[in-house]
Structure 1
Amino acid sequence: MPQTPDWSYQDVAVRRCREKLNSSSNVRVGLVIPTGGGKTRIALMVCIEEILASPEGGRILWVTHRKRLRLQAKRTLQRLVTENADNVPKDAVQLSERIEFLMKGDLASRLQRAEKGEIILVVVDEAHHAAAPSYSVLNQFTVRGLYLTATPVRTDLQPIGIDVIGFSITYRALFDKGVLVEPKFLEPAEVRWDNDASVGNFAMQILKYAEREFVKTLIVAPTVDKVVRLYKALRESLAQLEGHILGEEDLLYAHARQSSTGDVLEDFLDEFATTPRGILVATTELLGEGYDEPSINAVVVAYPTNSIIHMMQAGGRCLRCYEHKSEAFILQVRESEMAYHFEQRWLYQEISDFLRPQLVDCYYNGRDELSAAAEQILRRHHVDGGSCGELMKTIAEDAGGRICLLLYGLPYEGEPEKFESEGKWDVVFGFGVEGGLFTTVFNAFCECETQVGDVGQFLTSYAGREQDPSSRRRFVGMLIAMQYAHMEISGKSYHNADRRSYRIEKGTTWIKYVTFHPQRLLPAELDDFLRLCLNRAEIEGQYSCAPEDYVGVVRLALPLNGYIGFLLDAGQGQELAQNLRVLREQLQDETAHRQFYVVGRWKASLQTTKLPLVIVARIEQLLKTQPDVPQVLWLKQIED
């Protein structure tokens, strides 16, 4: 069953973006939200609050390069001002009239005829296009900008004009919050577009998925010719399948010049939105940006690409939350073994992909398996004993849930064919005390393309001079390895480069990002109990790491909506059970007016507790013996 989404990050995003916007009269602030994370809504809330703070009649320009993006923004604004949410001002309808939606070609003339102080903000949608000449006019005016994008870095590395990031969030965070559906990646398909039989086999593979996993499918193809060819192959293959759930009318295609129904594109896409099941084949340009259809649960990317931006735009079409939608699927193709193709984790990693790190996934069930898996990884990569000891100690003390390590390569002078088995590595921890620093330093070094003269000084600017010597040694080693990685993927020569087994499609030989995922095999009763908890992912991770440690779980109702969960170990469970029994006995014969007094007296008399204080403070939520919504689940028998 789908997790209850936690949208609270949107309020944080609005606040932080406004703080950055108010720091200067000419600042360009980036809002970096993955596809499906609600960046349009967040930006519109920023706009409304900015207008509310500008009673003199200031106006906001919302600029985009596609008509559908403009329409999408308008529709989102209409929904926003009519939903009467608590965080939407009562006069939002009147305020929204001061937001102008226009195409990028109209931006220059609108700014030129604006009165002094009239334009208080310019919003640039899909800001990775802002390096285009059409947007250069913004540099001629003193006006604040809010730049919306799924990634602040273009594939060609041209600047897009962002001065500072106001707010950003990763795909992983949105999955954990239940805002997006985490995709399942199917085995990449093979297709040769110059071979009719190969295209036919590809079409048949998609149709077989459409009988089961694929409910509503979007196929993104690179050219009009390939859109039409695949559409015809789907029709021909469907005719060979008796009793298929789809009919011929459920197979559709669209590109810039026409659609399969002959309808105008906007009407065609709106009609497809109402279709409960079907397959739509479309060009990359048509649906790459601005297409918002949450009922799609499967995306087929029918072209190989090196662009993380294209993958995020295409794959992200199936990740949006929708009623009864609990699974999403992505199927990619590759035309040759050398074509670089992304896998699942590329859609949501917290670290930059600039240096093309190799990605390794490990799975565990319980702390013992985690320790064993980590030891195996370190041993296989010949990591120094000192680093191994520190890592295993940190895992034993701090680790739980999903944890990450970054392995960085050391110089290698052996035989090329033995590099994989004999190459030596060291490690930086992507969790615990080092976790936040690691992500910040790694991404910042990528942003400056590793072009730093003194890596020690660069590290000090982030970690300070008091960093633990062992940790500093490993971080400096990581930065040096990152510089080698940049040379490697850029094709630049360096000492002993020919000794390493570098292949473009595999990524750099200098960096590996290792993720340990807990096997989240929850008991059915616990899985159902956590359904309403906004911190479900966190609880799942804790429980999966050491299920034997916990005897129960509590969920407390939050002030607005939803619940927050707490796992209980044996000591906490025994204490809670005893406290509930005692309180129920004390309340049994009390009048209604005295019951609050009795609970308050008990709280005041409590000397020490093993329980989280918030459970003690809200213990009255747990006292009912037959509640409408149970708030305590015992996983094991508790002995008084």
Structure 2
Amino acid sequence: MKPDWSYQEVAINNIFSDLKGPLHNHLGVIVPTGGGKTRIALMSAYKAWKSQSCKILWITHRHFLRQQAADRLENLFKDNKIEEKEFLSSVDFELVNNVKDCTFDQYDLIIVDEAHRSAANSYAFLKNVDCNVLYLTATPNRPDLLPIGFEKISFQITYRELFDRGVIIEPEFVPFEISDFSLTKSSNKQKIFEFILSNLNSKMNKMLVLVKKTEDRDKLYTEFKEFLTIRKEPGLAEMVFILKSGDSENQSLLHARGVVFSTDSLVKEGYDDKSIDAIFLTFQSSSIINKLQSAGRCLRYSEGKTSAYIIQFYNNDVAYYFDNAWLDVDFSDYLKPEVKVLDLENIEEYISKYRIVNSGFNLQDCCLGDTLVMYGISYHGDRDNFEQLAEWGVINFKPKNKIILKKIFNDIAFEKETIKNIEVYIERLLEVFDGQSISRKFLYDLIISCNYAFEEVHNKKKFFSRPLSCSSTYLKIFNLRESSSNRLDSFLRDVVNPEEVRSLFLNEKGLVLFKLPLFNNKFKAYIISEFEFKVIKEKFKNANNDTNNVNILEKSNVSLPYSAIWGINILTMDELSKGLIFNNEGEI
């Protein structure tokens, strides 16, 4: 699938429109890692400069981030995206610690990179500047819940939208079962090393192993190399690296294959190695946002890259896990709701398992892109009967009023306390946001449930009638997506044998569907197992992706006719991956 970057023009136009306003604005741009925040900001500034000559200050907190932004500007000029060289001298790049004595009157626009940092005291001057300020971030909700500083969001896009556009790669989540989170325990290290070895140079091309402490990074790096020697794999030692401060632009490291040991803090911001296709999170975190920021490093698109993996420690004591459902979410995880992605066609079957008590909810009103929120009603029965007897309310948030849900969740997270005067809060909320389609009564009940979730999760209040759970027992959130059958029909629209493969694919699990070109823009579809698809990927990975090699795949590798094997062999893996493969999650 060829990446669709057209959303960047929408972002640039939105920002330019906001910058032209009569008042100075503090504007937010929220784009996940790999979505092109830097390009969007620079091209927005360029458009503003072309409209009326202006001076721009770009501030960040690290030397290499400053240099990255300056290099990106130079590249935009070299690529003729920026036509006037004079613009380059209109942009100053500075570290935030060096701007204290700066004369801000000379600037018409300040761009704040990695703006989730702007809650720090070193950014306090931004409150008093007399110009527009543009805040760039992938993570608008800080783990410590401090405010970032923007008053209006000029543009925002989610991970899900970027996946659908082929801009970044949707990951596969791999649970790594372990008894505890100790990186000093020999049995844990042995299990980690065995996992890395089994995937190194096979399933995963380049794995980034992240730890919290520098000493853990150094020990794991040294001991893994010793492990390879003991296992008589000395040749693989050349594929083992350690990332230290200052290595972010190390070209030999950026272009190497293998495994890289690093601290989490070194790669959260600005580390741009598109070849990474696996992230191993070896630490526990109470914040999904924190994990998302780190895990995003493996999702960047690059030619020939078809898969991404996020490996995280798993055991029954861990309170919360990061999975695909959270990639659709753009609000705080502070209340720890249960989050799921549901096919539109399966809503009725799923909701029917619960006792829904608000009569205003209508399943027929649910549409693609909606967010359903189930909120728990007070329950005083037996804990063992909770699933069968507990009552729930449901609100369907449409895309236009989903910001109301986000506001409620983020306000509780920011204040770190319950909402006290709920009636007044709702009136103020609906004065600002369009909530005409939402009952005030339902909002009131939702906020009560959010307050209970706060007590349950953060004040550790025991509700003896409710089950013990990793997530809150008061909140369930469902993001609605197109049904799998509709996605499949779209994929099969141009194939000559849709009925031959459709029913088999829908009725059996563990299958991969792909199509090969015939003539007159038509295709033929074939079904293979997930294991056979992995074999194909490995065969291509071991071959030169830039040349056609008729011997890459043989009849003994897969249960396909010779014509299909020949059709696969004349393609590169990159060509095969661009919209020609479909699994149960959808088109790859």
Say whether the 8 Å CA contact 1:35–1:312 is kept in structure 2: no
| Structure 1 position 285 matched with structure 2 position 265 | yes
For structure 2, list consecutive stretches of 5 or more residues without a partner in the other structure.
413-417, 496-501, 508-520, 522-588
Between the aligned partners of 1:346 and 1:300, the Cα distance in structure 2 is: 18
Deviation at residue 32 of structure 1 after TM alignment: 0.8
Q: Aligned in 2, Cα 1:27/1:524: closer, same or farther, shift over 3 Å?
A: closer
| Structure 1 position 306 matched with structure 2 position 286 | yes
| Structure 1 position 381 matched with structure 2 position 347 | no
For structure 1, list consecutive stretches of 5 or more residues without a partner in the other structure.
257-263, 531-539, 546-562, 564-640
Q: Aligned in 2, Cα 1:240/1:529: closer, same or farther, shift over 3 Å?
A: farther
Partner of 2:466: 500
Moved more, 416-425 or 215-224: 416-425
Partner of 2:583: none
| Structure 1 position 457 matched with structure 2 position 427 | yes
Q: Aligned in 2, Cα 1:142/1:96: closer, same or farther, shift over 3 Å?
A: same
Partner of 1:550: none
Q: What do residues 243-295 of structure 1 show as CA deviations (whole Å, max 9, x unaligned)?
A: 79x72111000223xxxxxxx6255x3211222x2111111221121101111
| Structure 1 position 252 matched with structure 2 position 252 | no
Q: Aligned in 2, Cα 1:386/1:465: closer, same or farther, shift over 3 Å?
A: closer
| Structure 1 position 107 matched with structure 2 position 99 | yes
Say whether the 8 Å CA contact 1:31–1:166 is kept in structure 2: yes
Q: Aligned in 2, Cα 1:427/1:318: closer, same or farther, shift over 3 Å?
A: same
| Structure 1 position 294 matched with structure 2 position 283 | no
The amino acid that maps onto 2:449 is A
Q: Aligned in 2, Cα 1:233/1:197: closer, same or farther, shift over 3 Å?
A: farther
The amino acid that maps onto 2:373 is L
Between the aligned partners of 1:520 and 1:206, the Cα distance in structure 2 is: 36
The amino acid that maps onto 1:382 is R
Between the aligned partners of 2:317 and 2:27, the Cα distance in structure 1 is: 40
1:265 aligns with one of 235, 247, 251: 247
Counterparts of residues 227-626 of structure 1 (less than 5 Å): 227-241=217-231, 247-256=236-245, 265-266=247-248, 269-275=250-256, 277-334=257-314, 337-362=317-342, 370=345, 373-384=346-357, 386=359, 390-391=362-363, 393-394=364-365, 404-429=371-396, 434-449=397-412, 451=419, 453-454=422-423, 456-458=426-428, 460-461=430-431, 467=437, 473-491=441-459, 497-503=463-469, 506-515=470-479, 518-519=483-484, 526=491
Partner of 1:203: 193
Between the aligned partners of 1:60 and 1:46, the Cα distance in structure 2 is: 11
Deviation at residue 375 of structure 1 after TM alignment: 3.5
Between the aligned partners of 1:156 and 1:305, the Cα distance in structure 2 is: 12
Partner of 1:97: 89
Q: What do residues 338-358 of structure 1 show as CA deviations (whole Å, max 9, x unaligned)?
A: 354322322342454232211
Partner of 2:569: none
Say whether the 8 Å CA contact 1:387–1:426 is kept in structure 2: no
2:58 aligns with one of 42, 58, 62: 62
The amino acid that maps onto 2:78 is T
Deviation at residue 59 of structure 1 after TM alignment: 2.0
Q: Aligned in 2, Cα 1:341/1:24: closer, same or farther, shift over 3 Å?
A: farther
Moved more, 6-15 or 184-193: 184-193
Deviation at residue 524 of structure 1 after TM alignment: 11
1:18 aligns with one of 16, 19, 24: 16
Give the SS at the match of 2:477. Answer: strand
1:181 aligns with one of 147, 150, 169: 169
Partner of 1:576: none
Say whether the 8 Å CA contact 2:284–2:318 is kept in structure 1: no
Q: Aligned in 2, Cα 1:158/1:416: closer, same or farther, shift over 3 Å?
A: same
Say whether the 8 Å CA contact 1:235–1:248 is kept in structure 2: yes
The amino acid that maps onto 1:90 is E
Please, what TM-score do these two structures have when normalized by structure 2? 0.76
Q: What do residues 572-593 of structure 1 show as CA deviations (whole Å, max 9, x unaligned)?
A: xxxxxxxxxxxxxxxxxxxxxx
Deviation at residue 89 of structure 1 after TM alignment: 4.0
Give the SS at the match of 2:453. Answer: helix
Between the aligned partners of 1:341 and 1:120, the Cα distance in structure 2 is: 43
Moved more, 340-349 or 277-286: 340-349
Deviation at residue 422 of structure 1 after TM alignment: 2.4
Between the aligned partners of 2:223 and 2:314, the Cα distance in structure 1 is: 18
Partner of 1:214: 204
Between the aligned partners of 2:494 and 2:351, the Cα distance in structure 1 is: 37
Deviation at residue 301 of structure 1 after TM alignment: 1.2
Give the SS at the match of 1:173. Answer: helix
Please, what TM-score do these two structures have when normalized by structure 1? 0.70
Between the aligned partners of 2:291 and 2:239, the Cα distance in structure 1 is: 25
1:147 aligns with one of 129, 135, 138: 135
Q: Aligned in 2, Cα 1:24/1:220: closer, same or farther, shift over 3 Å?
A: farther
Deviation at residue 404 of structure 1 after TM alignment: 4.5
Partner of 1:130: 118
The amino acid that maps onto 2:453 is A
The amino acid that maps onto 1:453 is I
Say whether the 8 Å CA contact 1:311–1:347 is kept in structure 2: no
Q: Tell me the number of residue pairs that the alignment of Structure 1 and Structure 2 aligns.
A: 491
Deviation at residue 152 of structure 1 after TM alignment: 2.1
- Identity, % of aligned positions: 29
Larger radius of gyration: 1
Between the aligned partners of 2:506 and 2:404, the Cα distance in structure 1 is: 30
Partner of 2:573: none
Q: What do residues 103-125 of structure 1 show as CA deviations (whole Å, max 9, x unaligned)?
A: 111111223xx5x4x21111111
Between the aligned partners of 2:477 and 2:319, the Cα distance in structure 1 is: 21
Q: What do residues 104-155 of structure 1 show as CA deviations (whole Å, max 9, x unaligned)?
A: 11111223xx5x4x21111111111111111112234322211111122222
Between the aligned partners of 2:328 and 2:304, the Cα distance in structure 1 is: 23
Between the aligned partners of 1:43 and 1:120, the Cα distance in structure 2 is: 14
Say whether the 8 Å CA contact 1:124–1:148 is kept in structure 2: yes
Between the aligned partners of 2:328 and 2:227, the Cα distance in structure 1 is: 34
Deviation at residue 227 of structure 1 after TM alignment: 0.6
Between the aligned partners of 1:473 and 1:45, the Cα distance in structure 2 is: 45
Deviation at residue 90 of structure 1 after TM alignment: 1.8
The amino acid that maps onto 1:178 is G
Give the SS at the match of 2:109. Answer: strand
Say whether the 8 Å CA contact 1:131–1:158 is kept in structure 2: yes
Give the SS at the match of 2:422. Answer: coil
Q: What do residues 518-575 of structure 1 show as CA deviations (whole Å, max 9, x unaligned)?
A: 4469779946959xxxxxxxxx9xx999xxxxxxxxxxxxxxxxx9xxxxxxxxxxxx
Partner of 1:224: 214
